[in-house]
A and B are shown apart, each in its own frame.
Chain A
Amino acid sequence: GAGVSQSPSNKVTEKGKDVELRCDPISGHTALYWYRQSLGQGLEFLIYFQGNSAPDKSGLPSDRFSAERTGGSVSTLTIQRTQQEDSAVYLCASSLRGGGQVGTQYFGPGTRLLVL
């Protein structure tokens, strides 16, 4: 596709349920990032994938959060046992280079998650 796509665009769930958020990066981009944007906050780095290397999970806020990237392309961010404080917009970005080289990140439109 022309840009980074994310699905769903909106997700409402009940506290305690698991959710999966999907990100399709720009074709050919080797690096993929997940961020969280809470209301009135900046972007919080969550996790970074580069090619087939082990992901940098240093930003994940708890062990309820996990992410995988299959085939070096599509990524899924999973939140288990959701809490109300997980409500936020989850943004995905991809870039052409990583692994020590800085590439411009292209952002998707985000998934707005509301935990009731």
Chain B
Amino acid sequence: AQSVTQPDIHITVSEGASLELRCNYSYGATPYLFWYVQSPGQGLQLLLKYFSGDTLVQGIKGFEAEFKRSQSSFNLRKPSVHWSDAAEYFCAVGALDMRFGAGTRLTVKP
């Protein structure tokens, strides 16, 4: 069965520092992988997605993620975090019945 693990429940980084949020998945076939962001009081917004092809995908707001099949990972990165990036981040895998991770809450220190 497909599943997603986000090992970090809460991460705090300083503004301007780099960020990496971890995501590990279990999926029986070629995975469709997504990262969503949920800001306080907002709905979920798609940051980026991977279906096939180049394993490094670029998303909105300066985020990128790299698909590593050998590690079953799809980690999200950003070179320089802004205070507005503080939010909850969800990794998801699947197609029709997507499975979401439990989320990682990002706090940005000034």
Contact = CB atoms under 8 A, between A and B. Distances in A.
Nearest to A35: B100
Contacts of B97: 45, 48, 56, 58-59
Contacts of B41: 109
A41 interface: yes
B90 A42 contact: yes
Which range contains the number of A residues in contact with the other chain? 20 to 34
B95 interface: yes
B46 interface: yes
A44 B41 CA distance: 19
Interface residues of B, number: 23
Nearest to A103: B95
Contacts of A62: none
A4 B98 CA distance: 18
A77 interface: no
A89 B95 CA distance: 22
Interface string B26-61: 000000100010000111111001010000000000
A2 interface: no
Contact of B44 (A44, A48, A50, A91): A91
Given A42-B4, A42-B90, A43-B90, A105 B43 contact: no
Nearest to B42: A109
Contacts of A44: 100
Contacts of A90: none
Nearest to B92: A43
Interface string A24-42: 0000000101010000111
Top 8 A-B pairs, shortest CB-CB distance: A43-B100, A107-B44, A42-B102, A42-B100, A107-B43, A109-B43, A102-B95, A102-B32
